[in-house]
Amino acid sequence: MSGVEVGLRRQEGLGALYLGIFATIWFSVPAAEQPLRGLLVAGSVAALLTAVAGGVVTARSRGAAAGPRDRANDRRYLLIVVAEFALAGLGAAALAVAGWSEYIPVLVCAVVGLHFFPLAPVLGSPPLRHLGVATCAVAVAGLLTGLLTGVSAGVVVGTGAGVLLLGYALRSLLRSVRG
């Protein structure tokens, strides 16, 4: 296997690891009754197993990673993630102060979706844009559901974001093992 192939394998493994972890977190957002609770737990377990498998792929391809690190790309990545956390944190605090805490998951989901757009070129993964669009759509669906029905926005957003992130994590894992 060439150094480039190993580097791509490692990148896909990292994608499975990170997205699996975040899918697990999103599946824990909704407070739901059975049978949805059981499905969310099953989703969390699947996401966690995907993350572990991604970690194994990453660890196995670590020593043979292709070439030196791109420090400028690393800085762009860090800047995007810091901006994401700052925006989500400040937005969540503002919603809490305004008494709209039930919409914090909607805001966070929208910010997560938006952060995939600048991350796509940094990570060299154009499909992240599709994940960004779908994640933003889940945030809008959660907002509308929360405003117009008796269903909690957190149920829609936690379930939807968890499914999307798990799906993309599984895609990354499959790409990493297929080489």
CA distances from residue 65 to 6, 12, 13, 143 in whole angstroms, order as listed: 6, 12, 12, 42
In the predicted structure, residue 1 carries a pLDDT above the cut 90:
no
Q: Region 117-136: what's the mean pLDDT?
A: 95
- What pTM did the predictor assign? 0.91
- Indicate left, alpha or beta for 69 from its phi (over 0: left) and psi (-120 to 50: alpha): beta
CA distances from residue 85 to 29, 39, 119 in whole angstroms, order as listed: 17, 28, 14
In the predicted structure, residue 178 carries a pLDDT above the cut 60:
yes
Q: Region 132-144: what's the mean pLDDT?
A: 98
Residue 138 is predicted with a pLDDT of: 98
Residue 68 is predicted with a pLDDT of: 64
- Whats the size of the chain, residue-wise? 179
Q: Region 51-70: what's the mean pLDDT?
A: 80
Nearest to 47 by CA among 13, 21, 28: 21
Burial class (CB in 10 A: 0-12, 13-18, 19+), 63: exposed
